Amino acid sequence: MKSVMDIAKEEERKEFLKRSPLDRMETMHDYLFQIIAIKARGEKLSEYEIYTRYLRDNPRHYERTSR
């Protein structure tokens, strides 16, 4: 038997997948920046510093200029 949390997660997943690709992308973008804002408040840094650290630590998210 599934837990209440598992059922809620499954329903949210279904609702998310019903959205258009653009809506999904905008939603994930909003979630990313909400997480960045929370981390910035927690670490007492600017959101810019947290975002640049995220880009630096996740090289697939930026284009390498020197090859």
Q: What is the pLDDT of residues 19-32, one digit of tens each?
A: 999 999 999 999 99
**Is residue 14 situated within a structural domain?**
no
On whether residue 2 sits in a domain, the answer given is no
Q: Which domain holds residue 61?
A: 22-67
User: Is 5 domain-assigned?
Assistant: no
Alpha-carbon distance 8 to 27, whole Å?
18
The answer to whether position 58 is within a domain reads yes
Structure tokens at 36: 């960045």
pLDDT at 62 over 70: no
**Residue 49 belongs to some domain of the structure:** yes
Position 63 pLDDT exceeds 80: no
State the total domains in the chain: 1
Task: For residue 7, tell me if it sits in a domain.
Answer: no
Residue 36 falls inside a structural domain? yes
pLDDT band (50, 70, 90) for residue 60: confident
In-domain check, residue 10:
no
